Amino acid sequence: MKLAYWMYAGPAHIGTLRIASSFKNVHAIMHAPIGDDYFNVMRSMLSRERDFTPVTTSVVDRNVLARGSQEKVVDNIIRKDGEEHPDLIVLTPTCTSSILQEDLHNFVERAQLEAKGDVMLADVNHYRYNELQAADRTLDQIVQYYIEKARKRGELADGKTAKPSVNIIGTTTLGFHNNHDCTELKRLMADLGIEVNTLIPEGASVNDLKKMSQAWFNLVPYRELGLTTARYLEEQFGTPYIDITPMGVVETARCIRKIQQVINAQGAEVDYEDFINEQTLHVSQAAWFSRSIDCQNLTGKKAVVFGDNTHAAAITKILAREMGIHVVWAGTYCKYDADWFRQQVSEYCDEVLISEDHGEIGDAIARVEPSAIFGTQMERHVGKRLDIPCGVIAAPIHVQNFPIGYKPFMGYEGTNQITDLIYNSFTLGMEDHLLEIFGGHDTKEVITRGISADSDLNWTKDGQAELNKIPGFVRGKVKRNTEKFARDRGFKEINAEVLYAAKEAVGA
């Protein structure tokens, strides 16, 4: 573990709480000291949830440490069971309270004696797993618990549904555009004549999990969340799963063709080629736009991509394969799944970067100076410092990533939204320069900074004046090159003469 002021993926207990609070009528008890209880605020503020976040903190303080936690934790579980009447209570420690090495399994068994609902311990190693891994593991644990419970009671349904059906696995609260993706996926399935058997965990009841065995196939749209559950269901019931993310024209078509293959292998006869052609030609505008003069103006422009595996891989493919944009490097913070990411994007970019260090990512962006960045909120801040536009394409999420309007990233409507995001993220032509000519900016002060915060260089008044004469769309690059020139030669300040010398050194 290390202390950091920016984390791309949060600690394990955040993943567990995301899963628990996504289900209907499930309550989470977080065994933690004050300071670890920020999830309620984060969920209510960022995702604009109207309902109460079903998470209670069983606070670890010095009084609890003096006499042991069991009595307080058990009392809190039983109290919430009586007040809320949940179907399930999930107990989770945090990385802080895990230090105590308490027998939380015993706490759960003790509480289950009096609780009317089910009580479960989220069995996650808080020192080895991050938010995404813990969410995937917790979802799998809950599904297994209720499948086994139904099996013991003889409540598991035999066979499959009469019509082709699907379990959509992995949409959660605090997921990046998950709510809109979910709606788009349900529409897509309806258009294909496929019933949604269950959709978990967002909005589902744990009592519905016993129906999962009836689906013809499972769809896992997000690489980070749901694969473990899908593999368990395949092992138990032989249910095939599809993990092709339907994002972009090519991958959406590939996902639909895979669905067709899986359904026909089970005795149905469906042909989705006409549907794919209709959607590609008339519903999605992305294929048409990629041939338009507007998109051709982007051909060869340099971009970098960074995010979680699902979104970074998908956007890299869309940029390179569908829009002709040069991806200088593509990266992910999902280090635990780095091999898959490399395999997916290697042929579409010059370099692959795997890192959880936002400083390293910032330096890599500054090094290549792309025309646009596609990343997380952190890369958006980096772009502001470097005067490079950025389109946000992945979590960690921000309130801006819960738009009130309909903005899915998946399906054919998602292709339109992504195309708009990509096109509008580039500074096109001379627009920035023209804005300055006609007074569109509020200030002439140069606000662009290098990515390094330890610069001790000072710009003199005449040096600043000369820099301001340079068109805005290249000024950031000139400023950084000049500062590098000055630093290499030991100058402490930059005047007009130093700026001229730097320009001559690079042949400008």
Confidence of residue 426 (pLDDT cuts 50, 70, 90): confident
Binding site residue list for substrate: 429-430
pLDDT reading at 503 higher than 90: no
Confidence of residue 442 (pLDDT cuts 50, 70, 90): very low
Q: What is the pLDDT of residue 94?
A: 85
| Residue with more model confidence, 395 or 4 | 395
Domains of the chain with bracketed CATH: 12-129 (3.40.50.1980), 165-283 (3.40.50.1980), 287-437 (3.40.50.1980), 458-507 (1.10.8.550)
| Residue with more model confidence, 231 or 72 | 231
Query: Which residues, in sequence order, are bridge partners of residue 330?
Result: 305, 352
- Tokens at 151, concatenated: 């099996």
Q: What Rg value do the Cα atoms of the chain yield, rounded?
A: 26
Give tens-digit pLDDT for 460-482: 888 888 888 877 667 777 888 88
Question: In 3D, which of 397, 423, 388, 368 has the Cα closest to residue 307?
Answer: 397
Give tens-digit pLDDT for 129-175: 999 999 999 999 999 999 999 999 999 988 899 999 999 999 999 99
pLDDT reading at 446 higher than 50: no
Bridge-based pairing state of the strands 217-219 and 165-171: parallel
| Residue with more model confidence, 407 or 457 | 407
Residues 256-285 have a mean pLDDT of 93
| Residue with more model confidence, 296 or 172 | 172
Please state which of the ranges 103-112, 441-450, 453-462 shows the lowest mean pLDDT: 441-450
Q: Is the peptide bond before 201 cis (omega within 30 degrees of 0)?
A: yes
pLDDT reading at 290 higher than 80: no
pLDDT reading at 302 higher than 80: yes
Q: What is the pLDDT of residue 434?
A: 58
User: HSE-up of 49 (CA within 13 Å, CB side)?
Assistant: 22
Give tens-digit pLDDT for 363-372: 999 999 899 9
Cα 506 from Cα 503, distance rounded (Å): 5
Contacting residues for 65 by C-beta, under 8 A, at least 6 apart? 100
Cα 452 from Cα 362, distance rounded (Å): 9
What's the whole-number average pLDDT of the chain? 87
**Residues 319 and 325 sit within 8 Å (Cβ to Cβ):** yes
**Sign (positive/negative) of CA torsion 492, 495, 497, 498?**
positive
Q: What is the pLDDT of residue 178?
A: 93
pLDDT reading at 457 higher than 80: no
**Residues 240 and 234 sit within 8 Å (Cβ to Cβ):** yes
pLDDT reading at 301 higher than 80: yes
Confidence of residue 242 (pLDDT cuts 50, 70, 90): very high
Cα 508 from Cα 490, distance rounded (Å): 21
Q: What is the pLDDT of residue 100?
A: 74
Give tens-digit pLDDT for 390-405: 999 999 988 888 888 8
Please state which of the ranges 27-31, 103-107, 195-199, 434-438 shows the lowest mean pLDDT: 434-438
Q: What is the pLDDT of residue 466?
A: 85
Q: What is the pLDDT of residue 447?
A: 40
Please state which of the ranges 62-71, 79-88, 91-100, 126-135 shows the lowest mean pLDDT: 62-71
Q: What is the pLDDT of residue 372?
A: 94
pLDDT reading at 271 higher than 90: yes
Residues 109-128 have a mean pLDDT of 91
> One of 61, 75, 123, 294 is an active-site residue; which one?
294
Residues 333-348 have a mean pLDDT of 96
Confidence of residue 454 (pLDDT cuts 50, 70, 90): very low
Q: What is the pLDDT of residue 400?
A: 82
Question: In 3D, which of 127, 62, 72 has the Cα closest to residue 94?
Answer: 127
Confidence of residue 277 (pLDDT cuts 50, 70, 90): very high
E strand residue ranges, 45-203 = 55-59, 88-93, 118-121, 165-171, 195-201
User: HSE-up of 272 (CA within 13 Å, CB side)?
Assistant: 24
Q: What is the pLDDT of residue 293?
A: 75
Q: Mind giving me the DSSP string for 140-166?
A: HHHHHHHHHHHHHHT-PPPS--SS-EE
Active site residue 294: yes
Residues 246-262 have a mean pLDDT of 96
